[in-house]
Amino acid sequence: MAEFKQADSMYEWFDQRLGIDKFLKVMMTEYWIPKNINFLWAMGVLLTVMFTILLVSGLFLLMYYKPDINMAFDSVNYTIMQEVAYGWLFRHIHAVGASVVFLIIYIHMFTGIYYGSYKKGREMIWISGMLLFVLFSAEGFSGYMLPWGQMSYWAAYVITEIFGGIPLIGGDLVVWIRGNFYVSDSTLTRFFMLHVLLIPLAILGTIVLHFYALRFPHVNNLDGEFFDYDAEAKKYLDGKKVESKVVPFWPVFLSKDFFVLGFFLLFFFYLTFFHFNFAMDPVNFDKADGLKTPAHIYPEWYFLWSYEVLRGFFFEIAGISGKSLGLIAFAVAQAVFFLMPWLDRSPMVKPANQRPYFKYWFWFLMVDLIVLTIYGKLPPTGTNAWVGFASSITFLSLFIALPFITKAEGKKVGGK
């Protein structure tokens, strides 16, 4: 063990024991981020802040929430919303935050796709990010059940019923997941456990992995340029800050993020206080009733596109029932984004608008996802059902076509 000399200050005392100086350098002042970026690069910090806001507001909701089918609805809508000081504020923040966090996740995700930030060594960043998306989805779904309103109940019913389509074990699996033949108290308590402990723990762990995965391949930049980070960092440290292609995480990168965060929070608080119905569906202010189906059942907006892929197949094709086809398509839709680094076979790391074929693919995908999202909410009757079918087929086709399109693109640009 090294000799410890008497510390001259409290800072030094801690530094001797925890290596604060070195830690701050590695994590903040000498963690290098490319300079050539725009505000879309701030989404990661926005998500970190949003997760913290959700965690903190969740803690206070947890103080009064009662995971019991007879008490849950009133503990939320009366105790928390009416009695607890600022309980309503934490609930609004939590509910609106859960919705907005998905908006930012989608922007973050499609920024990654647009700029090709999942290629050439950045695969693990992409995969850990997609893992976070799946975990956030599970967190959102389990949390939506807790207020025990009509939409909580029926969305949970319909979504758990999906597993019933799995061959052989489906029926038993649904009962196993719910802990009963129907969505009931045992379902509520186990989803409560998932929502407040298991999934948040998994999210925290995966966030660490996601951040760590950034360290070796480094953050992508606007032009997908690869350069020598050590050389650029040295330039910066030598005072050639303007020529250097990098900036330190603190304070330069974060100052830009905080500026973006400020305006984002303005938008977020506007929604929280004045425009929250989109995240707190009026139907959910009716207490759950297993014997009364609401006229329209739909999941939260961020699940609509994959829900529409599920129900887009509403008739039998080649002897396979619509239900099974929908389930297969749904499973594919959940997994296919994970495969982006391998489906995109073009070696180009460039923003989509500079890629001759990929740009069409990207915007086609965006339009298709918006169509899926909108028709995922509309009642699936008449032409709506066919629009749903067409856009689901389009979604799957886009991913089948991606390797061929990008391969051709690779040939055209000749490995650039």
Partner 1 sequence: MMDESRRGFIGKAFGAVAAVGGVASLIAMKKTWDPLPSVMSAGFTTVDVSGLEANKLEIVVWRGKPIFILKYSADMAPTDGRSVKVGENYYSVMVGLCTHLGCIPAYRCDKQDFKCACHGGEFSADGVQTFGPPPKPLEIPPYKIDGTTLVLGEEGPEYKAMMAKAGGV
Partner 2 sequence: MKELKILAVLAVLVGITYYGIEPYAHHEMHPPVAPADFTYNGKQEVALYTKTMDEKLVAATENVAVQTAELAKATDAKAKEAITKKLEKAKSEVATLPETAKAEAQRRTDFWKTANHTAALEGNVTNGKVLVDANCIACHGIDAAGMPMAISNADAAASYGVVPPDLSSAATIYDAKYLAAFIASPVDAMHIQEKYSPESGKTFPMPSYNWMQPQEIADVVAYLKSLSVKKLEGKEAHKATFEAACGRCHSMQYAKFESTTPADALKTYMGTTPPDLSQYIKSRGEHYLHDFINDPQALLAGTAMPRVGLTEVAQHDVIAYMEEIGDPKKDERISLGIYTLAFTLVFAILGYLWKRKIWSEVH
Nearest to 304 by CA among 384, 412, 248, 358: 384
Helix spans in 247-382 (H):
254-274, 304-312, 322-336, 340-343, 358-377
Task: Give yes or no for residue 70 binding partner 1 (CB under 8 A).
Answer: no
The residue among 38 and 186 lying less far from partner 1, judged by its C-beta, is: 186
Residue of 170, 178, 116 whose CA lies nearest to 142: 178
Q: Which of 212, 227, 263, 386 binds partner 2 (CB under 8 A)?
A: 263
DSSP secondary structure code for residue 295 in this structure: S
From its phi and psi, is residue 100 left (phi > 0), alpha (psi between -120 and 50) or beta? alpha
Binding map of partner 2 across residues 272-291, x = CB under 8 A, - = no contact:
xxx--xx---xxxxx-----
Size of the residue set binding partner 2 (CB under 8 A)? 53
Site map (CB under 8 A) of partner 2, residues 239-258, x = contact: --xx-x--x---xx--xx-x
Query: Contact with partner 1 (CB under 8 A): which of 2, 85, 242, 295?
Result: 295
Structure tokens at 185: 């108290």
User: Binder to partner 1 among 200, 217, 347, 380 (CB under 8 A)?
Assistant: 380
Q: From 20-28, 137-145, 163-171, 366-374, give the range in contact with partner 2 by CB under 8 A.
A: 366-374
200 binds partner 1 (CB under 8 A): no
In the list partner 1, partner 2, none, the entry touching 282 (Cβ below 5 to 8 angstroms by class) is partner 2
The 3-state secondary structure of 137-197, one letter per residue: HHHHHHHHHCCCEHHHHHHHHHHHHHHHHCCCCHHHHHHHHHCCCCCCHHHHHHHHHHHHH
Give the integer Cα–Cα distance in Å for 229 and 27: 15
**Interacting residue ranges for partner 2, rule: CB under 8 A:** 35, 38-40, 74, 77-78, 81-82, 88-89, 92, 103, 107, 241-242, 244, 247, 251-252, 255-256, 258-259, 261-263, 265-266, 269-270, 272-274, 277-278, 282-286, 295-296, 301, 304, 366, 370, 373-374, 376-379
